[in-house]
Amino acid sequence: QSALTQPASVSGSPGQSITISCTGTSSDVGSYNLVSWYQQYPGKAPKLMIYEIIKRSSGVSNRFSGSKSGNTASLTISGLQAEDEADYYCCSYAGSNTWIFGGGTKLTVL
Amino acid sequence: QLQLQESGPGLVKPSETLSLTCTVSGDSISGTSYYWGWIRQPPEKGLEWIGSVYYSGSTYYNPSLKSRVTISVDTSTNQISLWLNSVTAADTAVYYCARHDRAADASDIWGQGTMVTVSS
């Protein structure tokens, strides 16, 4: 099991949209619509943002959306705000009751 | 509301066994809707799923750690435990316990995490 591939960093200006990709294989992301996304501030526990590719967790802004094509899932944040600056992690079901995380992406709001 | 709290030694010697407990409050861990998992994060690095346990005691482990990991559940005390043996410096990390919603297939409630350092 190798970690899902995410860009190390992305950046955007307030109001803009950014997309974070999460690339796996046909054994994980490509086989299941079971990708979730987590937001993590420094020194804090991760927070669930998106699950089952496209569903927003309770209380999460509709500026956050998810999608998937083939072996790659994506998280899009529209109308970027300063408070969105954080680390983001994807996670996919990988079969046989195992899960795999991405390496994480640091989002900087310029 | 539901809360998870990790506890255990913050310092473990190389080759010894890391042992942590996660105490769940606010609800019973005996529900059929959830797994209870352990995830870790080395300093300045990403998240790694360690393993999960169902209230019945069924366990699921990361293949890369399977030979060294044991996770158990105690429904009488509402606690989940993690043991990781033969630790090295590479096991230094913040260890989180989390509730995994089986329907959503996502970890929706997390503990605050506990830092464990492996050093002599």
Q: Which residues contact A7 (CB under 8 A, 6 or more apart)?
A: A20, A21, A105
> Is the four-CA dihedral B100, B104, B110, B116 of positive or negative sign?
positive
- Whole-number pLDDT of residue A2: 85
**Residue pairs spanning A and B at CB distance below 8 A:** 65
Question: Among candidates B114, B119, B103, B90, which has minimal Cα distance to B38?
Answer: B114
CA distance A46 to B74: 25
> Are residues A98 and B64, on separate chains, in Cβ contact within 8 Å?
no
- A45 interfacial to chain B (CB closer than 8 Å): yes
CA A61, A29, B56: angle at the middle one, nearest 5? 85
pLDDT tens column, A47-106: 999 999 999 999 999 999 999 999 999 999 999 999 999 999 999 999 999 999 999 999
- How, if at all, do strands A18-23 and A72-77 pair? antiparallel
> Are residues B47 and A98, on separate chains, in Cβ contact within 8 Å?
no
Q: What is the mean pLDDT of residues B67-90?
A: 97
Q: What burial class does residue A88 get, using C-beta atoms within 10 Å of its C-beta: 0-12 exposed, 13-18 middle, 19+ buried?
A: buried
Question: Among candidates A99, A88, A26, which has minimal Cα distance to B102?
Answer: A99
- Helix H or strand E encompassing B52: strand B48-54
User: Residues in chain A, how many?
Assistant: 110
Q: Which residue of B has its CA nearest to A44?
A: B112
> Which residues of chain B lie closer than 8 angstroms to A45, CB-CB?
96, 110-113
CA distance A49 to A54: 10
CB atoms within 10 A of CB B102: 13
Q: What is the mean pLDDT of residues B72-78?
A: 95
Query: Closest to B110 (Cβ–Cβ): which among A46, A99, A101?
Result: A46
Asked if B8 and B21 touch (Cβ cutoff 8 Å), the reply is: yes
> Which residues of chain A lie closer than 8 angstroms to B101, CB-CB?
51
Q: What is the mean pLDDT of residues A32-43?
A: 97
Query: Closest to B46 (Cβ–Cβ): which among A52, A93, A103?
Result: A103
pLDDT tens column, B20-68: 999 999 999 998 999 999 999 999 999 999 999 999 999 999 999 999 9
Q: Which residue of A has its CA nearest to B44?
A: A42
